Amino acid sequence: MCQLDFIYEKETVWQRLKRADKPIVIYGMGDGALKIFDKCQKYGITIDAMFASDDFVRGQSFNGYKVYKYSDICQQYDDFIVLLAFGAFEEGLLNRIYSIADEHELLAPDLPLFSDECVDFEYIEKNADKLKKAYSLLADEQSKKVFADQINYKLSGKIKYLKNSETVKDEVFSDIFSLSDSESFLDLGAYDGDTVREFIAAVGGKYRAICAVEPDVKNFRKLENNTKDIQNCECVNVGIWNNRTTLMFQNLAGRMSSLSLDEQGKKIRPVNVDTVDNIAQGRDITIIKMDVEGVEKEALISGKNTLNTLKPKLMVSAYHKTSDFFELVLLIHELEPEYKIYLRHHPYIPAWETNIYCTL
C-alpha cells in the first residue's frame, strides 16, 4: 500500500460495505443511485432498502425496490448504513444529510461525473508521484488540507472530510483574488448566467467587459434573457475544445450538458467548438472561469497563449473527472509556472464544487 503523509484511511468505501454487519440502504433516486447499484453488484454488496426525502415519496418503486420515507426505514431497522446517491448544496438539505449522519453511519461514494475511475489504493499507488508533486505545488495550507481531504473522502466516502475542509466562495474573492473595477471576465460554461451574476457581485458592479460562453441551446437562450440588461456583456453560443471544429453535444438543457465524443445517447446534436485563445483574442481578458463539464484539460491547453501572455486569474472546476484535482494542478503549472495555485472545496456533497484558483 502506498504511504503518503496525507492519507489516513485504511479501507475504501466498498471494502467497508463488503464487511458491513448491518443493513445497507440507498438514499435517493436517479443516475447516482443506479451507479451505486452497479458498483455494489460488482463487489457483491447487497442493498436492503431505499428511501427518499419525504416530499418525493409517493409509493413508487425504483430499480425493483419500493421507495420508503426515512422514518419508515428507522422503524424497519434498528441500525443501518446510508449510501447517499445524489448531490446536495442547499443549506437546508445539507443540514438534513448531516442530521441523518449523526443518527446512522452515512457514506457518499465518490462517483465522478465524466470518468469510470474511482480512487482506491491501487489508483493512489499508480499516481503517487503525481499526487506528491501536485500537493507540493499548492500555494497555502488550506489548499493542502482540501487536497488531503479530497483523497480521504474519495477513498472512504466519509462526508466529514468534505465538511471539514469547505469554505464559502466569497473567501476566494476576499483572500485569493484581488479584483479591480476594470476586470474583463471570460465565463466558459456560463449556464444561465449564474456565475456572471456572482462575478458582478464580487466586483461591486464595476468591470470592463464580460464574455459569457455556453454551448447548450436552451441554456444559451436563458443566458441571453438573463443578461440582456447587463452592460458590456456578450454571449457566445459555442463549446470549448482544443481546436476549432464541430463536435457532437448532449443537449440536456442543464448543468450536465456536455460534449459527447462517442455520438451515443439522447438529445445529441452537432455544436461548433472553439479554443480559449481564439475566443480571448482581442478581449484583454483578466479572469477566466472554466466549468466545461469534463473538458477542462482541453480548455486549458487551448488557452496556452492567453495564459502565457495575459496571465489572467483562473477559476477551474476540478471534480468532473477522477484525476482533475491533481492532473489539472500539474497541467496549469506546466502551462504557466508563474501561477500560484489554490484548491478550494465549497459546500457540496459529494466532492463537486471543488475548484482550482490561480493568480500571480
Confidence of residue 237 (pLDDT cuts 50, 70, 90): very high
Measured between alpha carbons, how far is 35 from 102 in angstroms, rounded to an integer? 25
Any domain includes 134: no
User: In CATH, what number is assigned to the domain containing residue 295?
Assistant: 3.40.50.150
Kindly report which listed range (36-45, 116-125, 254-263) carries the lowest average pLDDT score.
254-263
Looking at the fold, whether 93 and 216 belong to one and the same domain comes out as no
Q: What is the number of domains present in the chain?
A: 2
pLDDT of the residue at 141: 97
Spacing of C-alpha 333 from chain mean position: 20
Any domain includes 151: no
Q: 74, 94, 109: which is the final residue of a domain?
A: 109
pLDDT of the residue at 261: 47
pLDDT of the residue at 164: 95
Share of the chain above pLDDT 90, in %: 86
Any domain includes 132: no
pLDDT of the residue at 253: 47
Range 41-54 average pLDDT: 96
Picking from 260, 221, 222, 224, the residue whose alpha carbon sits closest to that of residue 239 is: 260
Task: Print burial letters for 197-208: b (CB count within 10 Å at least 16), e (below 16).
Answer: eebbebbeeebb
pLDDT in tens, 144-171: 999 999 999 999 999 999 999 999 999 9
Confidence of residue 127 (pLDDT cuts 50, 70, 90): very high
pLDDT in tens, 167-213: 999 999 999 999 999 999 999 999 999 999 999 999 999 999 999 99
In this structure, are strands 209-213 and 233-236 parallel, antiparallel, or unpaired? parallel
Looking at the fold, whether 199 and 280 belong to one and the same domain comes out as yes
Any domain includes 58: yes
pLDDT of the residue at 263: 44
What end-to-end distance do the CA atoms of the chain give, in Å? 37
Measured between alpha carbons, how far is 357 from 170 in angstroms, rounded to an integer? 13
Please indicate whether residue 114 or residue 15 has the higher confidence score (pLDDT).
15
Classify burial at 147, counting beta carbons within 10 Å of its beta carbon; exposed 0-12, middle 13-18, buried 19 or more: buried
Looking at the fold, whether 203 and 334 belong to one and the same domain comes out as yes
Looking at the fold, whether 180 and 284 belong to one and the same domain comes out as yes
Measured between alpha carbons, how far is 165 from 156 in angstroms, rounded to an integer? 15
pLDDT of the residue at 267: 62
Looking at the fold, whether 101 and 180 belong to one and the same domain comes out as no
pLDDT of the residue at 266: 53
Residue with cell 506528491: 132
pLDDT in tens, 248-288: 876 554 444 445 544 444 567 788 999 999 999 999 999 99
Res 116 pLDDT > 90: no
Q: 73, 94, 109: which is the final residue of a domain?
A: 109
Picking from 357, 324, 353, 358, the residue whose alpha carbon sits closest to that of residue 163 is: 353
Any domain includes 258: yes
pLDDT of the residue at 3: 65
Any domain includes 159: no
Q: 75, 109, 143: which is the final residue of a domain?
A: 109
pLDDT of the residue at 247: 86
Looking at the fold, whether 83 and 197 belong to one and the same domain comes out as no
Mean pLDDT over the full length of the chain: 93
Any domain includes 19: yes
Report phi then psi at 331, rounded to 5. Answer: -65, -45
Residue 240 vs residues 26, 213, 214, 270, 294: alpha-carbon distances, Å = 36, 9, 9, 13, 11
Looking at the fold, whether 103 and 180 belong to one and the same domain comes out as no
Looking at the fold, whether 182 and 59 belong to one and the same domain comes out as no
DSSP at 176: I
Confidence of residue 2 (pLDDT cuts 50, 70, 90): low
pLDDT in tens, 281-318: 999 999 999 999 899 999 999 999 999 999 999 999 99
pLDDT of the residue at 347: 97
Range 71-80 average pLDDT: 97
Confidence of residue 321 (pLDDT cuts 50, 70, 90): very high
Report phi then psi at 313, rounded to 5. Answer: -65, 145
pLDDT of the residue at 1: 47
Looking at the fold, whether 56 and 180 belong to one and the same domain comes out as no
DSSP at 230: S
Instruction: Give the domain range for residue 246.
Output: 170-359
User: In CATH, what number is assigned to the domain containing residue 67?
Assistant: 3.40.50.20
Any domain includes 282: yes
Looking at the fold, whether 79 and 187 belong to one and the same domain comes out as no
Q: At what angle do helices 141-156 and 324-335 cross, to 10 degrees?
A: 140
Looking at the fold, whether 327 and 203 belong to one and the same domain comes out as yes
Looking at the fold, whether 88 and 186 belong to one and the same domain comes out as no
Cell (9 digits) for 354: 471543488
